[in-house]
Structure 1
Amino acid sequence: QAKPCKLRDERGMYLLVQPTGARLFRMDYRRPGTGKRNTLALGVFPDVSLRQARERRDDARKLIADGIDPATRRQAGRLADAESFEAIAREWHEKHKAKWTPSYAEHLLRRLEVNVFPYIGSRPIAGLLAPDILAVLRRIEARGVIETAHRVHQYIALVFRYAVATGRATADPTPSLRGAIPTVPKVHFASIKEPGKIGQLLRDLDAYAGHPVTRAALQLAPLLFVRPGELRHAEWAEIDFDKAEWRIPAHKMKMRAPHIVPLSTQAVAILRELEPLTGRRQYVFPSLH
């Protein structure tokens, strides 16, 4: 058929059949207060059944009987959803995740999904106060994961700053929570505190009699000062002997920015010695198994 066709049901509801074949449940009514005619969408068939459409129609008619425009109520609900903490947090995450590694972005969002959204996610962010945030952090603290509580506090603060900057909140309540959560117990890793013993450590590394690939990695660690994971995943394609540089691509870095590590004469010599052993492989330090 060339024109839309209305198949009437009852109490103002009908099925609108479009020329494309789409079938849409609709309801005509007069808006409370103004008396102007309006049409309310009730769903698309068959995703919404006839029974479900009638239930939605009846709910709308109850609102009309109470002097409430169902279309206005629906718009207010959508606006509230858009202004909720979860909606704004996900928007903030989407805006910034390109700067993070995929694993870090996923881990951050998961922490919010587990620790925050179930408790304040559906609430309008502008109405959240410091006690609301503290209640969320107290739940985490009760599990004994104090560091996670502090991390989540930081994430919530960043979401609030984004909400303030985009006009969805007027203030950030998180600064007033400083000191409300116990500090993270400090754990000191084994370290050399006497400068004279550093030389002995370097001599011990040079005297290591294990696999030469492992020995090279141990010798490079104090020369390059990179994270162990970054050193372990170094690739030969990233090493520039002519410029004496190791160029770590952005996707390997936590902050998603490329990083250049200068190579000292000693570092270049170690890599040159290692090249005949692993130079044909992708990684400078491939698995030994």
Structure 2
Amino acid sequence: MPLNDMQIRRTKPDAKAYTLSDGAGLSLLIEPNGSKSWRFRYRFGGKPKMISMGVYPTVSLAEARSRRDEARKLVSEGRNPSEVRKEKKLALAAENTTSFEAIAREWHKLKSMRWSVGYAADIMEAFEKDIFPYIGNRSVSEIKPLELLNVLRKIEARGALEKTRKVRQRCSEVFRYAIATGRCEVNPASELSSALDVNQAQNYPFLREEEIPLFNASLNEYTGSDLVKLATKLLMVTGVRTIELRMACWDEFDLENATWEVPEERMKMRRPHLVPLPVQAVAWLEELKVMTGNYRYVFPGRNDPNKPMSEASINQLIKRIGYGGRLTGHGFRHMMSTILHEQGFNSAWIEMQLAHADKNTIRGTYNHAQYFDDRKLMLQWYADKVFAPVAP
């Protein structure tokens, strides 16, 4: 006799599990603990089979009957409901592993072993902020060029043209990886560069020597974050990359001996880098220690102090004081290189300070303390030059 909801609700557990039949292979299993679950029994290939149909009351009597009828239809078509269910699970799992986010994280994990920690973090941060929210759950085989273009134009609209170029390149690498691993056949990012407002040969803009005093005046008048202002000044006199500065930790600094040792995992060249600190830099770091000395990072994030400040912080400051398009954080390295070379400093010292490790200027076994005393004098001269008092 078919079941009804009143009967099911009133059914009590017993010392042993037992079943109530609804007919046509559907039954309700009542466990000693009081749980109730649906079962469907059938024969396939001459053998008895059974599959679960869910738990009551999450799966109602009407829903259980509907699922039973679907399973009976499969049997009548010569298909095993149990195998069909497995196929659906595999298809869902495959769909999850073909989403752009899943493949991008897989690609990132594979590639990041050869990258610095900071560089790897920046790439993933860009994906999480600008790409995953829009196409992260989409299958790579379904993403069309126009769809990706619209996502990239959101970055472009912020004026972050260099970032747009880099993110498009990284998306293209993810799609190439997906093609190589058999999960899509077309790379929708490959032809988008011509549709974006990005100059592929774009150089990082930098200041000429005569422009520095006016920039410093604008920087000193900036009323925003003192943390970012000091970060900008340190970037100017150390020659490190923006990513190396913003991820700096306090345990890397020896202020008494005016040195900063950047660990190899954060360096682009995967080599530790010893930076001599001019007296101005030490003073700024002492000031920063009062502000952030209790944190791990010298420049902790505004919203989460357990993470470093945003990669855009310094460039945003530069834009706010009126130098957008005329200078970038990375441009300070070019500025340093130009001024020091024009002054006649040894190219090997300069390249070592910029951590280029140019094989033509730095020969023999790499030594992260190489030319340290020379570089110390050079950077002190440079800091005095860049931050020289302006005559009234």
TM-score, length-normalised on structure 1? 0.65
Contact 1:137 1:152 in 2 (8 A): no
- 1:26 lines up with 2:39 in the alignment: yes
Deviates more, 1:5-14 or 1:109-118: 109-118
Q: Which residue in 2 is equivalent to 1:53? A: 64
Query: Matched residues in 2 for 1:207 and 1:110: separation?
Result: 34
Q: Which residue in 2 is equivalent to 1:40? A: 51
Query: Matched residues in 1 for 2:122 and 2:56: separation?
Result: 39
Query: Matched residues in 2 for 1:139 and 1:209: separation?
Result: 40
Equivalent of residue 16 in structure 1, options 26, 29, 37? 29
- 1:111 lines up with 2:131 in the alignment: yes
Matched ranges for 1:142-221 at <5 A: 145=153, 147=164, 151-161=170-180, 164=181, 169=182, 173-174=185-186, 178-179=190-191, 182=194, 184-187=196-199, 188=202, 191-192=205-206, 197-198=208-209, 200-201=210-211, 210=220, 217-221=231-235
Query: Matched residues in 2 for 1:210 and 1:113: separation?
Result: 37
Give the AA of the match of 2:172.
Answer: H
Change (3 A) 1:192 1:97: closer
Could you tell me which runs of 5 or more consecutive residues in structure 2 were left unpaired when the two chains were aligned: 1-13, 113-119, 157-163, 303-392
Structure 1 residue 201: deviation in Å?
Answer: 4.9
- 1:101 lines up with 2:132 in the alignment: no
Give the AA of the match of 1:185.
Answer: D
Structure 1 residue 58: deviation in Å?
Answer: 0.9
Give the AA of the match of 2:81.
Answer: P
Give the AA of the match of 2:235.
Answer: A
Deviates more, 1:37-46 or 1:98-107: 98-107
Secondary structure at 1:84's aligned position in 2?
helix
Change (3 A) 1:226 1:19: farther
Deviates more, 1:151-160 or 1:173-182: 173-182
Matched ranges for 1:125-140 at <5 A: 128=141, 136-140=144-148
Q: Deviations over 1:90-115 (max 9, x none)?
A: 54455577765399358348724523
Deviates more, 1:61-70 or 1:97-106: 97-106
Change (3 A) 1:88 1:14: same
Secondary structure at 1:280's aligned position in 2?
helix
Give the AA of the match of 1:104.
Answer: M
Query: Matched residues in 2 for 1:45 and 1:107: separation?
Result: 42
Contact 2:43 2:49 in 1 (8 A): yes
Structure 1 residue 236: deviation in Å?
Answer: 4.3
Q: Which residue in 2 is equivalent to 1:6? A: 19
Secondary structure at 1:67's aligned position in 2?
coil
Q: Deviations over 1:31-85 (max 9, x none)?
A: 1xx1211002111122211111111111111111222211111111111222226
Deviates more, 1:64-73 or 1:84-93: 84-93
Secondary structure at 2:50's aligned position in 1?
strand
Query: Matched residues in 1 for 2:30 and 2:18: separation?
Result: 5
Query: Matched residues in 2 for 1:16 and 1:154: separation?
Result: 52
Give the AA of the match of 1:81.
Answer: L
Query: Matched residues in 2 for 1:279 and 1:143: separation?
Result: 40
Contact 1:237 1:282 in 2 (8 A): no
Equivalent of residue 260 in structure 2, options 232, 245, 249? 245
Query: Matched residues in 2 for 1:96 and 1:39: separation?
Result: 41
User: What's the % identity of the aligned pairs?
Assistant: 20
Q: Which residue in 2 is equivalent to 1:272? A: 282
Contact 1:82 1:88 in 2 (8 A): no
Contact 2:100 2:137 in 1 (8 A): no
Structure 1 residue 13: deviation in Å?
Answer: 0.4
Contact 1:239 1:246 in 2 (8 A): yes
Q: Deviations over 1:111-150 (max 9, x none)?
A: 24523644xx2xxx8xx5xxx55xx123333678284665
How many residues are matched? 257
TM-score, length-normalised on structure 2? 0.51
Change (3 A) 1:111 1:233: closer
Change (3 A) 1:240 1:159: farther
Secondary structure at 2:148's aligned position in 1?
helix
Give the AA of the match of 1:141.
Answer: L
